[in-house]
Amino acid sequence: MLTRTAIYEGTIKAGHEEEFFRRVRDELEPLWRRFPNVEAVRVQRTTTADQDCRPIAMILEMDFADRRALDACLASSIRPESHAATEKVMQLFDGRFYHLVADATVLDPAG
């Protein structure tokens, strides 16, 4: 399984935290769920972090079966629409977002 992760590094503009996450929920999440071949979408809102951690407001993860499935997602017509919507929401954010792809292994808890 491949996981494509978007890291939203920075801070939400003061007083706009709830608006930011409402817009993520209402405007971005529907687009992310429509991407072809996506097997799971996780939106993680940071609640606490180590004191020396870079400011990360949110993490988005999307799972794909393999590279071909991910490449089809990235080539889809939804991607420019999603990027444009993300840029609008990012007006409430001081920072940047970037992506990485990892080969993910899901482990069952010991027990």
Q: Whole-prediction pTM value?
A: 0.90
pLDDT digits (tens, 9 = 90+) for 47-106: 999 999 999 999 999 999 999 999 999 999 999 999 999 999 999 999 999 999 999 788
Edge-to-edge strand order for the sheet containing 2-12? 40-45, 56-64, 2-12, 93-103
Q: 2-51+66-103 has which fold?
A: Alpha-Beta Plaits (3.30.70)
Mean pLDDT score, 19-34: 96
- The pLDDT of residue 110: 86
pLDDT confidence bin for 12, thresholds 50/70/90: very high
Over its C-alpha atoms, the chain yields an Rg (Å, rounded) of 15
Q: How far apart are CA 65 and CA 48, in angstroms?
A: 31
